[in-house]
Amino acid sequence: MSHRFSVLLAGAALTLAGVAAATPATAAPSLDPTPAPTLTCPPALPISGRATAVTTTSVTISYSMILTPPCGYNPPVTVTLFASQADAQQWLNPVAEAVSGPERNGQVTLDGLAPGTEYWLRFSADGKHDPYLFPSVRTAAVPVCAATAQIGSTWSGGFVATVTVRNVAAEALTGWRVSWRWAGDERIQTMWNAVPLDSTTGVTVGNASYNATLPPGGSTTFGMLVATSTPTGDLTLTCDR
């Protein structure tokens, strides 16, 4: 009897083992992390800037740090000038550099530059070179001439003005131009000893053929009859070659 009971138990064990072998294992749930979203930066320059003032030996650059990291930078910003576009593109041979304060919008002035010279502008911040190349800036040229105006006869409908042009350079001046803007509805009726030139920003006149050359310290004059319906104040003139 005990022998038969042992056989039955052995048979049951084999049956259970077969069922266990035939039952598929349940797969463990996936633990893969959710992919991080892709960073998309706004379509704007991280730093923008432009020249807002120039002298014969300096330029003032106004800047704006529009974007913050990771799309932009933190102040301060370093402004670097180069003597050629090729140097600026490769960050070679900088000629001047200035560092801003902690403001995100401000300006810096770079000194010790050559008169009448073109420079290319680059920005850097957070130890990185900004990848964008900005338009060049030119220092003011050394003045070669000066012009002053004197209002002579006046009446209700106009006036006569005499302009003196003087060579302030150390060498002879060959050819000159004088420019200004009217304050009201002034119109030149007649001009002598000078020639009106085309201008989109005011009035520009040039030398006549016989008074184009002025020695150092030399001067010449031209005059004009002007019609106007309003009183005319002082004229602010600029002179160049």
Write the pLDDT tens digit of every residue in 38-52. 778 888 889 999 999
**Architecture in CATH for domain 145-240:** Sandwich (2.60)
The predicted model gives 200-207 an average pLDDT of 92
pLDDT class for 18, splitting at 50, 70, 90?
very low
Residue 227's identity, in one-letter code, is A
The predicted model gives 108-122 an average pLDDT of 96
For the chain, report the end-to-end CA distance as a whole number of angstroms: 132
Percentage of the chain with pLDDT > 70? Answer: 85
Residue spans per domain, the chain: 47-138, 145-240
Planar angle of CA 154, 156, 159, nearest 5 degrees: 30
Q: Considering the chain, what is the average pLDDT of its residues? A: 87
Domain range 47-138, its CATH number among 3.20.20.70, 1.10.10.10, 3.40.190.10, 2.60.40.10? 2.60.40.10
Contact indicator for 187, 225 with CB cutoff of 8 Å: no
The predicted model gives 58-78 an average pLDDT of 94
The residue whose two tokens read 């009035």 is 203
Q: What is the pLDDT of residues 72-106, one digit of tens each?
A: 999 999 999 999 999 999 999 999 999 999 999 99
Residue 159 has pLDDT above 80, yes or no: yes
Tell me if domain 47-138 and domain 145-240 are identical in fold: yes
Q: Which of 123, 74, 77 is nearest to 100 (CA)?
A: 77
pLDDT class for 7, splitting at 50, 70, 90?
very low
Residue 239's identity, in one-letter code, is C
Q: Residue 75 has what DSSP assignment?
A: S
Q: What contacts 166, CB < 8 A, 6 or more positions away? A: 145, 146, 147, 214, 217, 218, 219
d(Cα 141, Cα 119) in Å, to the nearest integer?
Answer: 13
